[in-house]
Amino acid sequence: MLALLFGLILCIFSAPSIADHSDSSNVPKPDLICHTSNPDECYPRVFQPTEEFQIVHDDQELPKGLHVRLNIWTGLKEAKINVPDEIDPSLEGMPVDQAVVIVDHEEQLGAPKIPKGAPEYEPVGKVKGPQHESAALVEGLNMLKSGTSKNNQAFDDALETLEDLSHDMYYGLNIAEDTEAMEALLCLMSGQSAPSTNGAVPHDQQAASILAGVFQNNPAALKQVTGFWPQLLVESRCPNTGKSLRQSLYSSVEPSRNGEGANAQQAAARVKPKVSVINGLIKDGSIRTHFLREGGMESLLKVLIPEDKAWAGAQRKVGQLVLDNFLDENTGATLGEWPYLPKLGDELCQTEESGTAEGCWDYHVERIMKSSKASKEDWSWQLNDRLAAARQEQSNERKHEEL
């Protein structure tokens, strides 16, 4: 009897400690990771994938089965929802392994970090060529440079071949090394091709797709073009427009120059590769400076103005370009280059005269953010926040100068 009584007393006094131990081991991890007191800098503990590539933070957990890649320009890991049958346009023409890599979380946390102040990695090295040169590349470039009639099937086939080959680093570099061919492609992209009525891809869109392939993850090609860029802008005069590239290249992304009124979906499709070309070119600092000086940002802003949903993809490309090159230091942007003019009021930005002024980026980005009702991971939210931070920095600098 005494033993039974002693056992009951022992159970009563030990129960709380067991419960406490159980509670402490089952404490859930927080849903957000915050390294600072600023809530805007927090991010989900578990990576939230979308259909677009997003940066993966070092301490985030990755769900299984994502499409993960390393951005060659920034050195940052990116991931998105994996689509098994999806064809990555940047890999067209290259042998690829379609297997999905499952990232182990423990291994991810233990990855070494690049120390601050380490010398920058120089990605431009010797590009290994194929065993046999491509006769199709030579033929396509010759047809492009010869001024052969652009209204025949042979020319269309040549552009299609060049687009396929441009995604290969070696052939992309071959195209970039041919100054005459690059001038022809840039002029073709800058021209105003008539909207297609038979389903064929317009020539300006084809040329832009070739150039986008040349610059995609190919620093050697960009370095080659940078060498003759100033001469190309000043001396070239496009036969299809009668204008120099300096007058027509950056404005080629404007909706009004891509058949905006005829077919919004086709016009947006023509703009998307042109934005990709600009994004590739301005990775070079000297070209980026010229782009800003020649009003390139105003032309990009015009892409954000259409409210038709068909423009969502092109607008996303513009937003990502601005983040990657001017506002998001994590993706390699050089802060302080843009914006440099103050924000304008909403009423002024709703007018046709001032709607494309630099100070109206904030208004149009916020309008898209609200109308799309997208999550905070969307480009419009990120761009809105980064613009606000840049404006605050501008305000602080002005106050400092006044003192």
Task: Assess whether pLDDT exceeds 50 at residue 11.
Answer: no
> What local confidence, expressed as pLDDT, does residue 8 receive?
45
Closest by CA position to 277, among listed 295, 296, 264, 293: 296
> What local confidence, expressed as pLDDT, does residue 394 receive?
81
Q: What is the mean pLDDT of the chain?
A: 82
291 vs 37, more confident = 291
Write down how long the chain is: 403
Per-residue pLDDT band for 4 (boundaries 50, 70, 90) equals very low
User: From its phi and psi, is residue 242 left (phi > 0), alpha (psi between -120 and 50) or beta?
Assistant: left
Per-residue pLDDT band for 67 (boundaries 50, 70, 90) equals confident
Mean pLDDT, residues 266-281 taken together: 97
CATH fold, domain 137-256+263-332, is Leucine-rich Repeat Variant (1.25.10)
Residue 154, exposed/middle/buried by CB under 10 A (0-12, 13-18, 19+)? exposed
Where exactly are the structural domains of the chain? 137-256+263-332
> What local confidence, expressed as pLDDT, does residue 297 receive?
98
Q: With beta carbons less than 8 A apart as the criterion, state whether 223 and 173 touch.
A: no
Task: Assess whether pLDDT exceeds 80 at residue 77.
Answer: yes
**CB atoms < 10 A from the CB of 221, how many?**
28
Alpha carbon of 319 to those of 26, 90, 167, 310: distances in Å?
Answer: 42, 20, 24, 16
Spatial separation of the C-alpha atoms in residues 301 and 291, rounded to whole Å: 13
pLDDT digits 0-9 by tens, 300-328:
999 999 999 999 999 999 999 999 999 99
Per-residue pLDDT band for 89 (boundaries 50, 70, 90) equals low
Spatial separation of the C-alpha atoms in residues 241 and 232, rounded to whole Å: 16
Mean pLDDT, residues 238-252 taken together: 89
Per-residue pLDDT band for 35 (boundaries 50, 70, 90) equals confident
Q: Pull the structure tokens for residue 373.
A: 């009702």
Mean pLDDT, residues 279-293 taken together: 97
pLDDT digits 0-9 by tens, 129-171:
665 567 889 999 999 988 665 667 888 899 999 999 999 999 9
> What local confidence, expressed as pLDDT, does residue 83 receive?
76
Per-residue pLDDT band for 400 (boundaries 50, 70, 90) equals low
Q: With beta carbons less than 8 A apart as the criterion, state whether 217 and 72 touch.
A: yes
Spatial separation of the C-alpha atoms in residues 235 and 38, rounded to whole Å: 51
Cβ-defined contacts of 156-160 (< 8 Å, 24+): 156/200, 156/206, 159/203, 159/206, 159/207, 159/210, 160/206
Task: Assess whether pLDDT exceeds 50 at residue 25.
Answer: no
Q: pTM score, two decimals?
A: 0.69
Spatial separation of the C-alpha atoms in residues 297 and 278, rounded to whole Å: 11
Beta bridge partners of 77: 70
22-36, 240-254, 321-335, 376-390: range with lowest mean pLDDT: 22-36
Question: How many degrees, rounded to 5, is the angle at CA 68 between CA 174 and CA 28?
Answer: 160
Mean pLDDT, residues 6-14 taken together: 45
> What local confidence, expressed as pLDDT, does residue 248 receive?
93
pLDDT digits 0-9 by tens, 340-353:
899 999 999 999 99
